């Protein structure tokens, strides 16, 4: 069995092993990390040898930590990263490069249709009828998108939304509210087979699926990192927030994961504050006293037009994993348009948590 895991902010950890009657055998850890002294790698292998295949990541990490020689220096590798790589091997997880990725980047669409497309395309991936897909959104109208479990009245000021002609929609994933405008926001979705994140905890899957965009930002001169649970941040502020939804495939098969990210290119903070109700408790949780400082625009940090930022992100993804241009099929669009009209434009759905 073979498992790989790129440690967030670190290096690739690779584990090869055998599962013999529920026990780990012939464990071999490798990767492009740095580790001193040399005998530490042998100690790690020996610590994992004979472990129960049912041992969770925390238990495996504890075995690794306890085995390390005194004074061990680990760079680009962690005990937790080794444990995750083991769990991914046992789960027979797939890798980004195992797939033929498809790009969808179409003209502006309504907020309700974007919500519906996320649901439909991810369901198609879960059913095996669509390849893993990167979809870059173009917004046809300003919007507030609230999380699946958020209270509508607690998150949105209806008078402010009406004043700025902002559409309010609810998405199928959890997380917080997003304020978006056509030229000021970059949003993308990943619809991926569940096997891509097999062996990862819910939290680890966020970091794993965000890793490519951190590299893309780095290519543009922005040092960014994943900030648990679902933010992408830089030294001068948050620049993006992510959300996920798991979908079960037909007949209870493993299914797919929807992971979408909204990035602020040039946010109008005054308008955002007029539309969203952002409480003091949330500000305290984010460690800042000013909502205006919560999101730092990409325009100022890159100096690039929005379209150039998107092009560089797409190029980075293509260079790492391959990417061919595709489109929403007529059947997918018909289903999405139906959902946009009957579900995502309905007050029943939008106000399901009043």
CA angle 8, 240, 218 (to 5 degrees): 50
Closest by CA to 84, choosing from 7, 192, 138, is 7
Q: Residue 93: CB partners within 8 Å, gap ≥ 6?
A: 3, 195, 196, 197, 198, 199, 200
Angle of CA points 143, 175, 93, to nearest 5°: 120
CA pair distance 327, 118, nearest whole angstrom? 13
CB 149 within 8 A of CB 174: yes
**Do the Cβ atoms of 91 and 199 come closer than 8 Å?**
yes
d(CA 354, CA 348): 9
Residues 6 or more apart in contact with residue 40 via CB below 8 angstroms: 68, 69, 72, 74
**Within 10 A of 71 (CB to CB), how many other CB atoms are there?**
8
Q: Which of 101, 96, 99, 140 is nearest to 117 (CA)?
A: 140
Across the strands, what pairs with 308? none
Phi, psi of 253 (to 5 degrees): -65, 170
Q: Which residue has the tokens 């543009």?
A: 220
Closest CA to 261 of 141, 145, 109: 145
Instruction: List average pLDDT for each run of 10 residues in the chain, which is 354 residues long.
Output: 92 97 98 96 97 96 96 96 97 95 97 98 96 97 97 96 97 95 95 95 92 94 90 89 92 88 92 82 47 70 95 97 97 98 98 96
Residues 64, 47 contacting (CB under 8 angstroms): yes
Kindly give the interhelix angle for 57-67 and 39-48, rounded to the nearest 10 degrees.
140
HSE value, Cβ hemisphere, 13 Å, CA-based, for 277? 11
Angle between helix axes 79-90 and 57-67 (nearest 10 degrees) is 130
pLDDT on residue 353 = 97
Question: Cα(61)–Cα(45) distance, rounded to whole angstroms?
Answer: 12
C-alpha–C-alpha distance, residues 177 and 155, integer Å: 7
């Amino acid at each position: 069995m073979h498992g790989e895991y790129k440690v967030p902010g670190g290096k690739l950890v690779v584990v090869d092993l055998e599962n013999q009657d529920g026990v780990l055998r012939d464990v071999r850890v490798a990767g492009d990390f740095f580790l001193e002294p040399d005998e530490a790698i042998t100690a790690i292998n020996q610590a994992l040898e004979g472990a129960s295949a049912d041992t969770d990541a925390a238990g495996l990490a504890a075995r690794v930590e306890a085995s390390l020689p005194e004074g061990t220096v680990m760079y680009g590798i962690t005990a937790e990263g080794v444990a995750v790589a083991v769990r991914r091997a046992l789960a027979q997880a797939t890798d980004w490069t195992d797939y033929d990725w498809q790009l969808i980047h179409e003209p502006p669409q309504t907020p309700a249709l974007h919500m519906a497309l996320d649901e439909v395309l991810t369901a198609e991936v879960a059913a095996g009828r669509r390849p893993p897909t990167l979809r870059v959104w173009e917004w046809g109208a300003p919007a507030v998108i609230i999380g699946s479990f958020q209270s509508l009245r607690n998150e949105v000021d209806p008078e402010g939304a009406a004043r700025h002609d902002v559409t309010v929609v609810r998405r199928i994933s959890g997380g917080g509210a997003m304020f978006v405008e056509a030229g000021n926001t970059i949003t993308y979705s990943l619809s991926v087979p569940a096997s891509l994140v097999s062996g990862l905890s819910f939290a680890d899957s966020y970091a794993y699926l965000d890793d490519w965009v951190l590299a893309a930002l780095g290519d543009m001169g922005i040092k960014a990192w994943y900030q648990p649970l679902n933010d992408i941040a830089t030294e001068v502020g948050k620049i993006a927030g992510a959300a996920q939804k798991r979908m079960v495939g037909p007949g209870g098969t493993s299914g797919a994961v929807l992971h979408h990210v909204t990035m602020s290119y040039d946010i109008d903070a005054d308008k955002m504050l007029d539309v969203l109700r952002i409480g003091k408790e949330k500000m305290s949780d984010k460690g800042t006293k000013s909502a205006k400082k919560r999101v730092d625009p990409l325009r100022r940090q890159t100096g690039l037009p929005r379209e150039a930022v998107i092009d560089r992100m797409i190029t980075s993804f293509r260079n790492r994993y391959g990417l061919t241009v595709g489109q929403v099929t007529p059947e997918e669009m018909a289903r999405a348009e139906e959902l946009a009209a009957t579900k995502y434009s309905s007050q029943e759905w939008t106000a399901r948590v009043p």
